[in-house]
């Protein structure tokens, strides 16, 4: 995606390129999230500590691991520092466990994909200080935190009788693995032969859906006697296998294993929870591995002493068309069970509660006079107000979708949480349900404050106007009008039109209230305009239904749009209404950008060529300026208040032109293989900082320069990860000195006010008035 930001008007590097410059020492920067407050993505797992109240963790598929702050229901990210700058490998969490004997210890299985999208093998991370620091055990295979079946589990468990022992159920046919040294090392359990057989789409050539799901959960039976060495003797393991058997048990601490007799074979077990007081195992089943599939399922109770299964599937009075995922037991009230549908797409998810071990159930909602519904709940989204107009007001699925994790706090029967594909819901009055009255409503609240797991597609900051525009995956996008609002959850997301994913956003440099954004789903018009800085939007009448995604650029006066769509090729429209027409002088897939002060000028880049249009995007020509040694151009940023000033990020570093690309000068050779480049207001009067992802003295990092690229400062530091530099989105503030934004693929937008020298950062250098 293209980020259109500022350039540097002073401290220019002129003819002949720049000499390599020593990099300055990295300052200590404080990075924090731009607040959405509602998560914005899938939460497939939650684990409460069984012995210590207030200790709980939530895992996400692409946004890392979070620790609960019980005083205010907020969450703290605990895996930012371990995100690999060459990827976002450690933000994929496929399994989670705590040590029942030590409330400081937490374990997680890290890795994003088992196919070649993630080149790195998985790891089991262990922390003794509630996630503040981590150590790792390398695995000889991959882990899939964002693979199908990621809501099953938990696949990782600590033996409550001997916490030196951990088991991990792997994917991809790798079977069961065991640690006997507290998670420092793992070895395969050769006595466990089952590996799972189910792959959602065996013929999928990408490897995403053709990989077998493997093992689904590991559950220790605390009621069983201890074996030699103090280990728990009875352990249950679930597998994604509906052909032979899916539920296995050992009675001798893992020496031998057997399929449990009489088990249902039609479905795959998603959750297996032990009720120690009842000596029973509860299992939720679905005919898909989730989180998107599943059209049938069941809930069973296994009486351990009798060795007997009982079908306790809740009824909705008709044939169910969904599987079951979420399953919670109330440790304070044995026999109290809550289960959820995995995917009920209309009109909503189903959540059921039983207080008699599944003999009878009550529903959270039921039909009244269709289409009216009786509800046992009311909703509160104060922590993320945008969920209201963006989703609840426009969708029947108020309870969410993809419910795989559902937990009741083992220390508080009223406190419950469940994860969805949008946010984390829950509350503190669950037992109101037991009044069995449609008038006595419990409150379900959005409780994802602190969980930021959006995939950010583009970011921009308008000098004298809107402080931050963030285009996101899954939840559309957001407008933050001023820097003061960055710590407040927005009241609304981008809608009218609403697209699940917005691929890009741009603004008119000389008329900053004019903004354009593009969606990513062909089949409907995917371009919208705003004339109030991104507060309200209108569909562009000239867009067709075929073009989508890519990169968009708006002319300085807001009259012309050049759109490098994917699919759709390079397109152009003028006047806000004109139908888009093909631009044949730029290659398909080219980067496009607009000069922010000269409305007749647009820039383009493809491969090793830089292009300029002087007729408002009608035609493009290869620029005269040479970017020596550059074979691949990655990003183009035009100065927001100076015409003809443009920066280009390439595999050979960052280049700068002050004359519309007629000549280019290279910045310091200390920074190579650069990715996104952006500019923002600097500390000195009328100065602009330049920021870039690239490879410098500190490695692949985010760097900043206050001297036109002569020297580069590591502004990322060792304590903040952004994931892979190639997908990081970048914007410097057009209004606040030293303020810089990083959009990530999974952890939302980060911000920091950085010091690159000169006066104290943070002072405003431009007025809030948008340019006319």
Active site residues: 61, 474
Q: How far apart are CA 339 and CA 353, in angstroms?
A: 7
Cα dist from 481 to 56, 178, 276, 533, whole Å = 35, 52, 53, 8
Q: How far apart are CA 238 and CA 233, in angstroms?
A: 17
Contact 52, 80 (CB under 8 A): no
SS3 string of 700-759? EEEEEECCCCCCCEECCCCCCCCCCCCCCEEEECCCECCEEEEECECCCEEEEECCCCCC
Q: How far apart are CA 168 and CA 185, in angstroms?
A: 11
Cα dist from 121 to 117, 141, 205, 215, whole Å = 11, 5, 20, 17
Strand partners, 426: 417, 445
Angle at 605 between CA 604 and CA 606, to 5 degrees: 135
328: part of which helix (H) or strand (E)?
A: strand 324-329
Pairing of strands 699-705, 713-714: antiparallel
Q: Which of 51, 76, 131, 96 is nearest to 404 (CA)?
A: 96
Task: Please state, as a whole number, how many other Cβ atoms lie within 10 Å of the Cβ of residue 299.
Answer: 22
Q: How far apart are CA 125 and CA 94, in angstroms?
A: 11
Q: How far apart are CA 648 and CA 665, in angstroms?
A: 10
Strand partners, 275: 280
Q: How far apart are CA 572 and CA 564, in angstroms?
A: 9
Q: How far apart are CA 172 and CA 177, in angstroms?
A: 13
Contact 547, 593 (CB under 8 A): no
Sequence-ordered list of residues with C-beta below 8 angstroms from that of 143, at least 6 positions apart, any chain: 92, 94, 95, 109, 110, 111, 112, 114, 121, 122, 123, 170, 171
Q: How far apart are CA 296 and CA 432, in angstroms?
A: 29
Burial of 292 (0-12, 13-18, 19+ CB in 10 A): middle
Q: Indicate the DSSP class of residue 252.
A: S
For every residue of 516-556, DSSP letters joined together read: EEEES-TTS--EEEESSSSSS-EE-TT--SS--SSEEEE-T
Q: Which of 447, 336, 429, 409 is nearest to 48 (CA)?
A: 409
Contact 357, 335 (CB under 8 A): yes
Contact 563, 528 (CB under 8 A): no
Task: Please state, as a whole number, how many other Cβ atoms lie within 10 Å of the Cβ of residue 615.
Answer: 12
Q: How far apart are CA 409 and CA 158, in angstroms?
A: 19
The token duo for 499 is: 């697209």
């Amino acid at each position: 995606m293209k980020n259109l930001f500022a350039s540097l008007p002073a401290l220019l590097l002129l003819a002949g390129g720049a000499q390599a410059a020593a990099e300055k020492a990295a300052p200590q920067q404080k990075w924090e999230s731009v607040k959405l407050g509602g998560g914005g993505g899938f939460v497939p797992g939650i684990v409460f500590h069984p012995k210590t109240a207030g200790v709980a963790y939530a895992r996400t598929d692409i946004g890392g691991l979070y620790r609960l702050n019980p005083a205010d229901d907020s969450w703290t990210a605990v895996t930012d520092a371990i995100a690999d700058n060459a990827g976002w490998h450690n933000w994929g969490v496929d399994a989670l466990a705590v040590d029942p004997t030590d409330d400081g210890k937490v374990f997680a299985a890290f890795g994003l994909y088992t196919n070649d999208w993630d080149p790195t093998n998985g790891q089991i991370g262990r922390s003794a200080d509630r996630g503040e620091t981590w150590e790792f055990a390398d695995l000889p295979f991959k882990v899939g935190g964002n693979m199908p079946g990621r809501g099953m589990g938990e696949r990782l468990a600590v033996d409550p009788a001997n916490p030196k022992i951990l088991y991990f159920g792997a994917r991809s046919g790798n079977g069961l693995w065991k640690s006997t040294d507290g998670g420092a090392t793992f070895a395969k359990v050769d006595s466990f032969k089952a590996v799972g057989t189910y792959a959602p789409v065996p013929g999928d050539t990408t490897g995403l859906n053709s990989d077998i799901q493997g093992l689904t959960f590991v559950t220790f039976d605390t009621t069983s006697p201890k074996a030699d060495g103090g280990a728990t003797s009875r352990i249950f393991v679930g597998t994604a296998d509906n052909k032979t058997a899916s539920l296995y048990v050992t009675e001798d601490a893992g020496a031998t294993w057997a399929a449990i007799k009489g088990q249902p074979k039609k479905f795959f077990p998603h959750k297996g929870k032990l009720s120690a007081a009842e000596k029973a195992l509860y299992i939720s089943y679905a005919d898909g591995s989730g989180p998107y599939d599943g059209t049938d399922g069941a809930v069973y109770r296994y009486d351990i002493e009798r060795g007997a299964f009982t079908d306790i599937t809740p009824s909705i009075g008709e044939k169910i068309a969904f599987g079951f995922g979420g399953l919670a037991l109330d440790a304070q009230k044995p026999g109290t069970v809550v289960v959820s549908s995995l995917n009920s797409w209309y009109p909503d998810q189903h959540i059921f509660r039983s207080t008699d071990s599944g003999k009878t159930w009550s529903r959270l909602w039921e039909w009244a006079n269709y289409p009216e519904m009786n509800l046992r709940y009311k909703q509160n989204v104060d922590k993320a107000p945008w969920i209201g107009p963006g989703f609840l007001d426009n969708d029947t699925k108020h309870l969410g979708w993809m419910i795989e994790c559902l937990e009741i706090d083992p220390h508080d029967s009223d406190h419950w949480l469940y994860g969805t594909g949008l946010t984390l819901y829950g509350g503190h009055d669950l037992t109101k349900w037991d009044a069995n009255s449609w008038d006595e409503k419990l409150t379900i609240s959005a409780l994802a404050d602190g969980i930021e797991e959006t995939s950010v597609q583009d970011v921009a900051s308008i000098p004298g106007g809107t402080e931050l525009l963030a285009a996101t995956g899954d939840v559309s996008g957001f407008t933050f009008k001023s820097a003061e609002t960055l710590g407040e959850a927005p009241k609304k997301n981008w809608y009218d039109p609403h697209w699940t994913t917005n691929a890009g956003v741009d603004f008119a440099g000389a008329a900053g209230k004019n903004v354009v954004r593009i969606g990513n789903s062909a089949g409907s018009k995917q371009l919208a305009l705003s004339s109030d800085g991104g507060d309200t939007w209108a569909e562009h009448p000239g867009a067709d239904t075929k073009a989508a995604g890519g990169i968009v650029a708006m002319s300085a006066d807001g009259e012309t749009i050049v759109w490098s769509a994917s699919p759709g090729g390079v397109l152009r429209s003028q006047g806000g209404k004109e139908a888009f027409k093909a631009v044949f002088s730029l290659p398909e897939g080219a980067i496009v950008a607009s000069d922010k002060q000269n409305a007749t000028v647009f820039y383009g880049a493809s491969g090793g060529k830089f292009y300029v249009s002087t007729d408002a995007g009608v035609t493009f020509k290869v620029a005269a300026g040479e970017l020596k040694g550059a074979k691949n151009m990655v990003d183009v940023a035009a100065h927001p208040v100076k015409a003809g000033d443009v920066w280009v990020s390439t595999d050979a570093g960052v280049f700068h032109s002050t004359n519309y690309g007629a000549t280019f000068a290279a910045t310091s050779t200390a920074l190579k293989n650069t990715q996104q480049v952006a500019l923002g207001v600097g500390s000195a009067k009328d100065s602009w900082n330049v920021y870039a992802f690239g490879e410098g003295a500190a490695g692949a990092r985010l760097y900043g320069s206050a001297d036109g690229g002569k020297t580069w400062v590591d502004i990322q530091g060792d304590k903040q990860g952004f994931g892979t530099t190639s997908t990081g989105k970048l914007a410097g503030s057009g209004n606040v000195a030293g303020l810089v934004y990083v959009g990530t693929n999974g952890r939302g937008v980060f911000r920091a006010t950085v010091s690159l020298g000169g006066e104290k950062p943070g002072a405003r250098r431009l007025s809030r008035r948008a340019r006319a």
